[in-house]
């Protein structure tokens, strides 16, 4: 018989998704703040280095458990490259190439459909008809929220940015999708603190040669850049990523992925508050549809009183 979680643990599990969505959504806003002052891979190398400087002492203080075999280290590193280097590299590169942050969020927001489709053959998880309906509703709601950004301008969908930006966004989508599945499949039981430290070190090592080769690596150290970088490190790399890995460990991959449907509308709300980007009736209706879709996907199944 499995012991019931403590009230404090249950409360943490209920609050974690909302906190995660808020933190993760600020990543697109943070990118908008820092990218005018440095190139994307340079920003990420600085971000990863600062995160390692924070997590290193934290591992010592918490006496974090380290992976016990080279195979485990390898799996942690692969998951980190997918979730950090490929996903973040794709997002930052897409935004730097001119793709609106909202549209980038929408492309990456397709992740739950891919994760739900792949969770069955990869992880053996089942997607119910109700969850399938929720995934479709969520995607439709996200499309409605950011419909204005998808509308063709000057007769072309790619007005203001090129195909390269879309390719980067799609690469980010693949990174976060396969990274979530890989983390769930191969990294169970790994200490979150030490595992994250390894992942950020490896991701920085992977991106640094590309930044050195293809970018100038010059940084305009303005107050806006320093604030944005600090938030990306503390709020995103430490706070949001730790929550994401914890939720992957404690929940089904398909349900965790469904939370990403809430990121684009939340990002749109933040952009409205910070940059006065107005939301029309269609966008508000889309947000309501998105919330309903996510509720269908993440709602726990009814369990019988007698466990067989």
pLDDT in tens, 247-294: 766 664 555 666 667 777 777 778 777 767 666 677 678 777 877 777
Residue 199's pLDDT band, with cuts at 50, 70 and 90, is: very high
Q: What is the pLDDT of residue 125?
A: 62
Helix axes 241-250, 7-34, angle to 10 degrees: 140
What's the first-to-final CA gap in the chain, in angstroms? 11
Q: What is the pLDDT of residue 34?
A: 93
Distance CA 241, CA 27 (A): 11
Contacts of 49 (CB under 8 A, 6+ apart): 204
What is residue 187's three-state secondary structure? coil
Judged against a pLDDT cut of 80, whether residue 304 lies above it is answered with: no
- Contact status, residue 110 vs residue 172, Cβ threshold 8 Å: no
What is residue 63's three-state secondary structure? coil
Judged against a pLDDT cut of 70, whether residue 109 lies above it is answered with: yes
- Contact status, residue 206 vs residue 199, Cβ threshold 8 Å: no
What is residue 153's three-state secondary structure? strand
Q: What angle do CA 250, 251, 255 make, to 5 degrees?
A: 160
- Residue that wins the pLDDT comparison between 140 and 87: 87
Residue 137's pLDDT band, with cuts at 50, 70 and 90, is: confident
What percent of the chain clears pLDDT 70, i.e. is strictly above it?
74
Judged against a pLDDT cut of 90, whether residue 52 lies above it is answered with: yes
Q: What is the pLDDT of residue 221?
A: 95
Q: What is the pLDDT of residue 225?
A: 95
Q: What is the pLDDT of residue 206?
A: 97
Q: Where are the alpha helices (DSSP H) in the chain?
A: 7-34, 40-62, 70-80, 87-96, 101-108, 111-123, 129-145, 147-150, 163-186, 192-214, 223-231, 241-250, 253-258, 263-275, 281-298
């Amino acid at each position: 018989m499995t012991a019931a979680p403590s009230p404090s643990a249950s409360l943490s599990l209920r609050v974690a998704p909302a906190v995660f969505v808020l933190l993760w959504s600020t990543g697109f806003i943070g990118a908008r703040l820092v990218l005018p002052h440095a190139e994307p891979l340079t920003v990420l190398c600085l971000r990863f280095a600062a995160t390692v400087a924070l997590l290193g002492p934290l591992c010592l203080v918490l006496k974090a458990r380290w992976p016990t075999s080279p195979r485990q280290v390898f799996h942690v590193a692969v998951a980190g490259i997918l979730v950090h280097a490929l996903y973040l590299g794709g997002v930052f590169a897409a935004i730097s190439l001119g793709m609106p942050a909202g549209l980038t969020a929408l492309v990456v927001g397709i992740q739950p459909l891919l994760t739900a489709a792949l969770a069955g053959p990869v992880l053996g998880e089942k997607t119910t008809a109700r969850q399938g309906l929720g995934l479709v509703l969520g995607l439709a709601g996200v499309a409605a929220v950011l419909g204005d950004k998808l509308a063709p301008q000057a007769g072309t969908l790619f007005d203001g940015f090129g195909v390269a930006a879309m390719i980067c966004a799609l690469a980010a989508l693949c990174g976060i999708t396969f990274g979530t599945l890989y983390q769930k499949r191969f990294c169970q039981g790994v200490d979150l603190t030490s595992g994250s430290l390894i992942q950020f070190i490896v991701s920085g090592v992977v991106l640094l040669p590309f930044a050195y080769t293809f970018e100038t690596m010059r940084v305009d150290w303005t107050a806006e850049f320093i604030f944005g970088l600090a938030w990306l490190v503390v709020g995103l790399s430490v706070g949001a990523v730790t929550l994401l890995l914890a939720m992957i460990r404690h929940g089904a991959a398909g349900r965790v992925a469904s939370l990403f449907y809430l990121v684009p509308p939340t990002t749109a709300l933040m952009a409205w508050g910070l940059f006065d980007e107005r939301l029309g009736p269609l966008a508000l209706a889309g947000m309501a549809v998105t919330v309903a879709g996510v509720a269908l996907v993440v709602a726990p199944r009814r369990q019988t009183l007698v466990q067989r």
